[in-house]
Amino acid sequence: MPRRLTHLRTMKRAWRVLLQCSLLFVLPAFFAGAQEVKPTGEQISMKWGELSTVNGVRTVVSTEAEYNAHNRHGPITFYAIPFTDGAFSLSWKRDLPQKINFVFETEDNGKPTHLFKVFVNGTPNKDHSKTDVVSLVTYEGIDGSKKKKATVRTEKYHAEAGKWHATSVTFDEHVATIRVDDEIYTVKDDRFRKEVMKCGVGHIWGTLETKSVIITKK
Protein backbone atom coordinates (compact mmCIF):
# COMPACT_ATOMS: atom_id res chain seq x y z
CA MET A 1 0.00 0.00 0.00
CA PRO A 2 1.47 3.44 -0.95
CA ARG A 3 2.85 5.40 2.01
CA ARG A 4 0.67 8.44 1.20
CA LEU A 5 -2.54 6.37 1.31
CA THR A 6 -1.46 4.73 4.59
CA HIS A 7 -0.73 8.17 6.06
CA LEU A 8 -4.14 9.53 5.00
CA ARG A 9 -5.96 6.58 6.57
CA THR A 10 -3.96 6.97 9.77
CA MET A 11 -4.81 10.68 9.92
CA LYS A 12 -8.51 9.91 9.33
CA ARG A 13 -8.56 7.39 12.19
CA ALA A 14 -6.77 9.86 14.46
CA TRP A 15 -9.30 12.59 13.62
CA ARG A 16 -12.21 10.23 14.36
CA VAL A 17 -10.73 9.34 17.75
CA LEU A 18 -10.15 13.04 18.53
CA LEU A 19 -13.74 13.89 17.60
CA GLN A 20 -15.13 11.05 19.71
CA CYS A 21 -13.03 12.14 22.70
CA SER A 22 -14.14 15.76 22.35
CA LEU A 23 -17.79 14.68 22.31
CA LEU A 24 -17.29 12.89 25.62
CA PHE A 25 -16.85 16.35 27.15
CA VAL A 26 -19.10 18.44 24.90
CA LEU A 27 -22.27 16.30 24.83
CA PRO A 28 -22.68 15.92 28.62
CA ALA A 29 -22.56 19.72 28.90
CA PHE A 30 -25.08 20.02 26.05
CA PHE A 31 -27.54 17.61 27.67
CA ALA A 32 -27.20 19.02 31.18
CA GLY A 33 -30.67 20.03 32.29
CA ALA A 34 -32.24 18.80 29.05
CA GLN A 35 -35.63 17.11 28.85
CA GLU A 36 -35.94 13.59 27.43
CA VAL A 37 -39.20 12.82 25.65
CA LYS A 38 -40.31 9.36 24.55
CA PRO A 39 -42.93 9.97 21.83
CA THR A 40 -46.38 8.47 22.36
CA GLY A 41 -49.91 8.64 20.97
CA GLU A 42 -50.66 11.52 18.64
CA GLN A 43 -47.01 12.57 18.65
CA ILE A 44 -46.40 9.63 16.31
CA SER A 45 -47.74 9.37 12.74
CA MET A 46 -46.95 7.10 9.83
CA LYS A 47 -47.25 7.09 6.05
CA TRP A 48 -47.74 3.71 4.39
CA GLY A 49 -46.46 0.32 5.45
CA GLU A 50 -47.76 -2.36 7.83
CA LEU A 51 -47.06 -1.69 11.51
CA SER A 52 -46.67 -3.95 14.53
CA THR A 53 -45.22 -3.25 17.98
CA VAL A 54 -43.94 -5.95 20.33
CA ASN A 55 -41.95 -5.41 23.54
CA GLY A 56 -41.09 -1.84 22.62
CA VAL A 57 -39.86 -2.70 19.12
CA ARG A 58 -41.74 -0.94 16.32
CA THR A 59 -41.70 -2.97 13.08
CA VAL A 60 -42.71 -1.45 9.74
CA VAL A 61 -42.96 -3.73 6.70
CA SER A 62 -43.48 -2.70 3.09
CA THR A 63 -42.94 -4.12 -0.41
CA GLU A 64 -41.25 -2.90 -3.55
CA ALA A 65 -44.65 -2.86 -5.24
CA GLU A 66 -45.97 -0.47 -2.59
CA TYR A 67 -42.86 1.69 -3.02
CA ASN A 68 -43.56 2.02 -6.75
CA ALA A 69 -47.26 2.64 -6.13
CA HIS A 70 -46.41 5.62 -3.92
CA ASN A 71 -44.28 7.36 -6.54
CA ARG A 72 -41.13 5.61 -5.28
CA HIS A 73 -41.56 6.62 -1.67
CA GLY A 74 -41.27 4.11 1.15
CA PRO A 75 -42.96 4.14 4.57
CA ILE A 76 -41.91 6.77 7.09
CA THR A 77 -42.74 7.38 10.76
CA PHE A 78 -42.79 10.96 12.05
CA TYR A 79 -42.33 12.14 15.62
CA ALA A 80 -43.85 15.58 16.19
CA ILE A 81 -42.01 17.01 19.20
CA PRO A 82 -40.67 20.45 18.26
CA PHE A 83 -37.29 21.65 19.55
CA THR A 84 -34.63 24.19 18.65
CA ASP A 85 -31.47 22.80 20.22
CA GLY A 86 -31.87 19.09 20.87
CA ALA A 87 -31.33 15.55 19.64
CA PHE A 88 -33.15 12.66 18.01
CA SER A 89 -31.82 9.21 18.92
CA LEU A 90 -32.87 5.60 18.41
CA SER A 91 -31.68 2.11 17.59
CA TRP A 92 -32.67 0.46 14.31
CA LYS A 93 -32.29 -2.75 12.33
CA ARG A 94 -32.90 -3.52 8.65
CA ASP A 95 -33.40 -6.86 6.94
CA LEU A 96 -31.88 -5.54 3.70
CA PRO A 97 -28.64 -3.64 2.96
CA GLN A 98 -30.44 -0.73 1.27
CA LYS A 99 -30.80 2.69 2.80
CA ILE A 100 -32.63 4.06 5.78
CA ASN A 101 -33.31 7.80 5.96
CA PHE A 102 -33.70 10.29 8.78
CA VAL A 103 -35.72 13.42 7.99
CA PHE A 104 -35.87 16.67 9.94
CA GLU A 105 -38.53 19.20 9.00
CA THR A 106 -38.98 22.86 9.87
CA GLU A 107 -41.30 25.61 8.67
CA ASP A 108 -40.77 28.50 6.27
CA ASN A 109 -43.54 31.12 6.23
CA GLY A 110 -45.80 28.72 8.08
CA LYS A 111 -45.32 25.86 5.60
CA PRO A 112 -43.41 22.61 6.28
CA THR A 113 -40.09 22.21 4.51
CA HIS A 114 -36.98 20.06 4.72
CA LEU A 115 -34.26 21.17 7.13
CA PHE A 116 -31.85 18.23 7.01
CA LYS A 117 -31.69 14.60 5.90
CA VAL A 118 -29.37 11.72 6.69
CA PHE A 119 -29.25 8.61 4.52
CA VAL A 120 -27.43 5.56 5.89
CA ASN A 121 -26.45 2.98 3.25
CA GLY A 122 -27.46 5.17 0.35
CA THR A 123 -28.00 8.53 -1.32
CA PRO A 124 -31.04 10.75 -1.95
CA ASN A 125 -31.47 9.55 -5.54
CA LYS A 126 -33.54 6.56 -6.63
CA ASP A 127 -30.54 4.33 -7.42
CA HIS A 128 -30.47 1.95 -4.46
CA SER A 129 -27.36 0.01 -5.52
CA LYS A 130 -24.92 2.28 -3.66
CA THR A 131 -25.03 1.04 -0.07
CA ASP A 132 -21.55 1.92 1.22
CA VAL A 133 -22.12 5.59 2.05
CA VAL A 134 -23.74 7.92 4.55
CA SER A 135 -25.27 10.95 2.81
CA LEU A 136 -25.76 14.25 4.64
CA VAL A 137 -28.18 16.60 2.89
CA THR A 138 -28.67 20.31 3.62
CA TYR A 139 -31.07 22.69 1.89
CA GLU A 140 -31.08 26.35 0.91
CA GLY A 141 -33.64 28.58 -0.71
CA ILE A 142 -33.64 29.54 -4.38
CA ASP A 143 -34.53 33.15 -5.19
CA GLY A 144 -37.90 33.38 -6.86
CA SER A 145 -38.71 29.71 -6.32
CA LYS A 146 -40.58 27.64 -3.74
CA LYS A 147 -38.08 24.83 -4.22
CA LYS A 148 -34.93 24.24 -2.19
CA LYS A 149 -31.44 23.52 -3.48
CA ALA A 150 -30.00 20.35 -1.93
CA THR A 151 -26.31 19.97 -1.14
CA VAL A 152 -25.16 16.38 -0.58
CA ARG A 153 -22.01 15.32 1.26
CA THR A 154 -21.11 11.63 1.36
CA GLU A 155 -18.95 9.62 3.75
CA LYS A 156 -17.87 6.00 3.36
CA TYR A 157 -19.71 3.63 5.70
CA HIS A 158 -22.04 0.63 5.60
CA ALA A 159 -24.35 -0.42 8.43
CA GLU A 160 -24.75 -4.17 8.26
CA ALA A 161 -28.20 -5.67 7.76
CA GLY A 162 -29.61 -7.86 10.50
CA LYS A 163 -27.84 -5.97 13.29
CA TRP A 164 -28.93 -3.18 15.62
CA HIS A 165 -27.38 0.23 15.01
CA ALA A 166 -27.42 3.19 17.41
CA THR A 167 -27.95 6.52 15.67
CA SER A 168 -28.38 10.09 16.88
CA VAL A 169 -28.58 13.54 15.31
CA THR A 170 -27.89 16.46 17.63
CA PHE A 171 -28.57 20.11 16.74
CA ASP A 172 -26.65 22.74 18.69
CA GLU A 173 -27.07 26.23 17.24
CA HIS A 174 -25.70 26.00 13.65
CA VAL A 175 -24.00 22.61 14.10
CA ALA A 176 -25.47 19.13 13.59
CA THR A 177 -23.57 16.15 14.97
CA ILE A 178 -24.49 12.81 13.44
CA ARG A 179 -23.50 9.53 15.05
CA VAL A 180 -24.01 6.13 13.41
CA ASP A 181 -22.50 3.37 15.53
CA ASP A 182 -18.93 4.60 16.16
CA GLU A 183 -18.88 6.92 13.14
CA ILE A 184 -19.31 10.64 13.85
CA TYR A 185 -19.89 13.45 11.36
CA THR A 186 -20.51 17.16 11.81
CA VAL A 187 -22.34 19.54 9.49
CA LYS A 188 -22.62 23.31 9.83
CA ASP A 189 -25.53 25.31 8.46
CA ASP A 190 -27.15 28.50 9.74
CA ARG A 191 -30.59 27.01 8.98
CA PHE A 192 -30.01 24.55 11.83
CA ARG A 193 -30.87 27.43 14.19
CA LYS A 194 -34.49 27.05 13.04
CA GLU A 195 -36.96 25.01 15.07
CA VAL A 196 -37.18 21.33 14.19
CA MET A 197 -40.92 20.66 13.95
CA LYS A 198 -40.73 16.89 13.51
CA CYS A 199 -38.25 14.07 13.01
CA GLY A 200 -38.84 11.11 10.71
CA VAL A 201 -37.31 7.72 10.02
CA GLY A 202 -38.10 5.72 6.90
CA HIS A 203 -36.89 3.10 4.45
CA ILE A 204 -37.64 2.08 0.87
CA TRP A 205 -39.06 -1.43 1.31
CA GLY A 206 -38.54 -4.56 3.37
CA THR A 207 -38.53 -4.48 7.16
CA LEU A 208 -37.36 -1.71 9.49
CA GLU A 209 -37.31 -2.25 13.24
CA THR A 210 -36.80 0.65 15.66
CA LYS A 211 -36.63 0.99 19.42
CA SER A 212 -35.52 3.40 22.17
CA VAL A 213 -36.73 6.48 20.28
CA ILE A 214 -35.94 9.57 22.35
CA ILE A 215 -36.06 13.28 21.59
CA THR A 216 -33.92 15.38 23.90
CA LYS A 217 -34.71 19.08 24.04
CA LYS A 218 -32.95 21.85 25.94
- pLDDT, tens digit, 9 for 90 and up, residues 71-85: 888 899 999 999 999
Q: What SS3 state is found at 95?
A: coil
Looking at residue 5, its pLDDT comes to 47
Looking at residue 31, its pLDDT comes to 57
Looking at residue 34, its pLDDT comes to 72
Looking at residue 111, its pLDDT comes to 86
Looking at residue 2, its pLDDT comes to 58
Binning the chain into helix, strand and coil, the percentages to the nearest 5 are: 20, 50, 30
Q: What is the mean pLDDT of residues 130-151?
A: 86
Looking at residue 110, its pLDDT comes to 81
Mean per-residue pLDDT of the chain: 87
- pLDDT, tens digit, 9 for 90 and up, residues 152-177: 999 999 999 999 999 999 999 999 99
pLDDT over 90 percentage in the chain: 69
Looking at residue 147, its pLDDT comes to 78
pLDDT over 70 percentage in the chain: 84
Radius of gyration of the chain (CA): 18
Q: What sign for the dihedral angle of Cα 186, 77, 167, 207?
A: negative
pLDDT surpasses 60 at 13: no
What DSSP element (H or E) covers 101?
strand 100-108
Residue 144's Cα: distance from chain center in Å? 29
Residue 190 φ then ψ, to 5°:
-65, -25
- pLDDT, tens digit, 9 for 90 and up, residues 84-133: 999 999 999 999 999 999 999 999 888 889 999 999 999 998 888 899 99
Contact 49, 192 (CB under 8 A): no
What single DSSP character describes residue 5?
A: H
